[in-house]
Structure 1
């Protein structure tokens, strides 16, 4: 099948893109409003974009209304300039899903998911205490594109529990961390437990000699 993007409805394009651009890492973002109220919400339109400086990008759509109303996460980041990306692992999957619920104003996602917080090292926004790794971020810029916002955050501190760090690199012991990924809009996720395969990069000289 072929889909004409110019003629398709936005929801149809959304359904197709999130099924093809997969698996996607999940950012469980904690943010804070100007009064100190905390918010937690997961986003799978997320990835790292560069390392010098270290920048992560998050796509945050507006609320599904005719008015261009930002979600709490985007509004909080715009007003305070800080947020924390908590890495979603297998043991946090169900609590992450609770945080995705569209609770009425005044109800804390963290409380509903029974998640406690811990102080961050640099930013005022706390991380989730049970998250095995987290990225503390300061807003670099926010781009408003159509009905969405692309938020670029500069990573200013990285927290990883000791058991998941190989000091030789340092490297993340990703095969032990068990992060999960988002697959489509039908509630599908993927585990990384026992699913790693190793494909070393081929140096040019090795590749060339193999062709001769």
Structure 2
């Protein structure tokens, strides 16, 4: 099968997100200018640099109660900070529940009974029991092609690692929590098998 984007795929559902998968999930916690907390998952997310460490998150679409974008995007734009909480397979149900289109004044931490803790270097909440969390400072926002598509570029200022995810050798072991990954359609996956490949030397 071949299709051009302009002509369309003719399938019951768009396969694009299923093709570009698995994708890590950024479980973003933020606050607005009034200090109200928000928590929501974003699957257009990845790390893009080491020194300094940087990540990108895309916000697509909008909510009916926002002039543009969604709650997390607007909060990030207002405050300049946010936290990316990393979710494991055990977090799947509550992560999915936090994706509901709550009114913007709703605190998902409180509504869903998710334990909250303060970040250390930024004024922002985080998921207290997440396997890892990245405290981020907004670098810039890039408008993408298409309506309501925005790319958030941010620098990671600090990292939280849950103690039980560290090995005795000091490695962060993803098999101890099985990172949640977004696939296409309504599908998710979890990384439960890991193998090592050493880069070849010429």
Q: Are residues 1:200 and 2:198 paired? A: yes
How far apart are the structure 2 equivalents of 1:167 and 1:26? 27
Q: Post-superposition shift, 1:118?
A: 0.5
Q: Are residues 1:48 and 2:77 paired? A: no
Q: Is the 8 A contact 1:62 1:68 kept in 2?
A: no
How far apart are the structure 1 equivalents of 2:63 and 2:125? 28
Q: Which runs of 5+ in 1 are unaligned?
A: 205-212
Partner of 2:181: 181
Partner of 2:162: 161
Q: Is the 8 A contact 1:89 1:180 kept in 2?
A: yes
Q: Is the 8 A contact 1:82 1:125 kept in 2?
A: yes
SS of the residue 1:171 aligns to: coil
Q: Post-superposition shift, 1:68?
A: 6.4
Cα deviation digits, residues 67-102 of structure 1 (max 9, x gap): 962111111101100000000111111000000111
Task: Single out whichever of 108-117 and 42-51 deviates more from structure 2.
Answer: 108-117
How far apart are the structure 2 equivalents of 1:189 and 1:123? 31
SS of the residue 2:15 aligns to: helix
Q: Post-superposition shift, 1:104?
A: 2.7
How far apart are the structure 1 equivalents of 2:67 and 2:196? 45
Partner of 1:6: 6
How far apart are the structure 1 equivalents of 2:43 and 2:158? 21
SS of the residue 2:29 aligns to: strand
Structure 1 segments (4+ residues) deviating >4 Å? none
How far apart are the structure 1 equivalents of 2:107 and 2:162? 26
Cα deviation digits, residues 160-196 of structure 1 (max 9, x gap): 012323475x5311222311111112x2111222x22
How far apart are the structure 2 equivalents of 1:159 and 1:75? 24
Q: Are residues 1:76 and 2:75 paired? A: yes
Cα deviation digits, residues 7-52 of structure 1 (max 9, x gap): 339xx8x932211111111010001100000110100100000111
After TM superposition, the score normalised by the length of structure 1 is: 0.85
SS of the residue 2:199 aligns to: coil
Please identify the structure whose Cα radius of gyration is greater: 1
Say what the alpha-carbon RMSD is for the aligned residues: 2.1
Matches within 5 A, 1:96-135: 96-135=95-134
Q: Which runs of 5+ in 2 are unaligned?
A: none
How far apart are the structure 1 equivalents of 2:141 and 2:128? 27
Partner of 1:208: none
Q: Is the 8 A contact 2:63 2:70 kept in 1?
A: no
Q: Is the 8 A contact 1:98 1:112 kept in 2?
A: no
Partner of 2:61: 62
After TM superposition, the score normalised by the length of structure 2 is: 0.89
